[in-house]
Homo-oligomer: A and B are copies of this chain.
Amino acid sequence: MTDQTPLDRLTAKLRSIHHLRDAAAVLSWDQETYMPSGSGAIRAEQLATLQTLAHDQFVSPEVESLLAPFLNCATGDLLPEQTASLDAASQSLLRETWRDYSRAKKLPSAFVNELERECSLAQQVWATARKTNDFQLFLPNLERMVVLKRREADYLGYTDSPYNALLDAYEPGSTVTQLRPLFQTLRTELVRLLDLIRESPVQPQANLMTQCFDTAKQLEFGRLVLKHMGYDFQRGRLDLSAHPFTTSFHPTDVRVTTRVFERDLPSCLFSCIHEGGHGLYEQGLPSAHYGTPLGEAISLGIHESQSRLWENSVGRSRAFWQYFYPKLQDLFPDQLGSVQDADFYLAINRVNPSLIRVEADELTYNLHIMLRFEIELDVIEGRLAVEDLPDAWNAKMKDYLGIVPTSDAEGVLQDVHWSFGAFGYFPTYTLGNLYAAMFYRQARTDLPDLEKNITKGNLLPLKDWVNDRVHRWGRQYTSAELIQRVTGIPLTPAPFIEQLTEKFGNLYQLPATASHP
């Protein structure tokens, strides 16, 4: 103990607090996968106790006293004499720890406890409401949640919009002012492409993917792809849950989930690849920095870029299926044995406005996100009442995608996010798509044999590349710094638009697309 430096002591404390958060994560994973249906109430209490305790410990005078040797605890500025000799990683550790600490410090313990309890309960009510298509059942929970999130924004403080305070939790540095024009540009391009695709004479066979596919074999295939991606099953698991997710309790224990439907081949397949991308990020974080910000992912947008990179840039590419399609045909000879690879490739890239975000295609997906972003912004800024959400949802679905859900289960109730208070989360999905296209373009430059390797089922060079460029740094860089560092340019939607234009231009034989971006 006497050999510990002040930084060691800070790190040890952060680590033991992290154990509590990890325990809560295990309890949450269990709740979504194996927990008996009758024990929801007590699980909410247990989670609230753990989260409150972790919060209390983190904002305790002990942590402040461990930070005090390094920074001004009023402003967060590093003390030059004490930190100038530290390496860049340690300075980042202090900067990011301060960021978390000062945010947490603003939230009273009783509020955190109340929020945690409401999140756990509301999630369970949401699950029932979605199953029984009963928005009214969920309404009181959602109303309480919006009140709590507005209070959270007030506690945290913000400029321009309370939404910025919430967004900042998921994508530090991002603001409504930044997102509006970004999404506007993107929307124009997406709608232009979508219109061209609608008019194309080329159209995929709609029923290829809705044949009957044995669920055990689907899972077997998902597992196979995960192994090829380098997802380590000695340090991870694949389970079933209502909504696919990835959770981590340490880089040695990173778990992904999927769901599987007999008459929907892409659902299980692409959620495995998607969550696998998240899983690789978590498995690729540096164990040595576990418990500190340097052992954590930068932001949800960067996290999502890792899943989208694998799901779309890789998993929906011709190169990928050159290797994997024969294997899929072997598993499902009756369903796919006589289907040409080009037809299969077109089918998994089918652009088709649909109701459910997580099943949406690569292009229209982002219109789902914009809908949610605009609606939740209106709710948080007080322009839209929670009880009016279903109508607002349906109106925007009609406007953006030209279709309207026939039930709330397929509409406003489809996503779990709001039930655990995740307002400001959705935009990170589209940010993830943009980052992913930027990373993938760079990877193709850095790894000239990338696609040749993919056609041989060798996905490990790409895994090593993201491990090296993204994962191993934890939060040493901000997302803006990382994207600049890796790609040489700041965030831009251009590579994403180019990627879609090139792919769908070829697939749907669109006119004049080659010259566009």
Contacts and interface: CB of A to CB of B under 8 A. Distances in A.
Nearest to A29: B30
A290 interface: yes
Interface string A15-32: 110011011101100100
Contacts of A255: 36
A236 B233 CA distance: 27
B39 A249 contact: yes
A53 B255 CA distance: 26
A241 interface: no
A41 B50 CA distance: 21
Contact of A252 (B22, B41, B235, B236): B41
Instruction: Kindly name the residue among A39, A43, A237 whose own CB sees the greatest number of chain B CB atoms within 10 A.
Output: A39
B39 A252 contact: yes
Contacts of A50: 19-20, 23
Q: For the side of the interface on A, what is the size category?
A: 35 or more
Interface in A231-278: 232-237, 239, 249-250, 252-253, 255
Contacts of A236: 36
A235 B23 contact: no
A297 B504 CA distance: 65
A24 B22 CA distance: 11
A63 to B, nearest CB: 16
Contact of A38 (B36, B41, B235): B235
A53 B20 CA distance: 10
Contact of A27 (B23, B41, B232): B23
A250 B45 CA distance: 11
A325 B26 CA distance: 40
Contact of A42 (B39, B237, B239, B252): B252
A49 interface: yes
Nearest to A19: B49
A339 interface: no
A46 interface: yes
A12 B505 CA distance: 64
A339 B23 CA distance: 50
B36 A253 contact: yes
A5 to B, nearest CB: 20
A253 B53 contact: no
Given A16-B49, A19-B50, A30-B30, A250 B37 contact: no
A290 B42 contact: yes
A35 interface: yes
Interface string A28-66: 001000111111011101100110010000000000000
A36 B235 contact: yes
A37 B253 CA distance: 9
A234 B36 contact: yes
B234 A35 contact: no
Contacts of A23: 23-24, 26-27, 46, 49-50
A34 B234 contact: no
A62 to B, nearest CB: 13
Nearest to A24: B23
Counting from the closest, the 8 A-B pairs by CB-CB distance are A39-B253, A19-B49, A39-B252, A42-B250, A38-B234, A38-B235, A19-B46, A23-B23
Interface of A: 15-16, 19-20, 22-24, 26-27, 30, 34-39, 41-43, 45-46, 49-50, 53, 232-237, 239, 249-250, 252-253, 255, 290
18 contacts: A16-B49, A19-B49, A20-B50, A20-B53, A23-B50, A26-B26, A34-B237, A34-B239, A36-B234, A36-B235, A36-B253, A36-B255, A38-B252, A39-B249, A39-B253, A42-B249, A43-B253, A46-B249
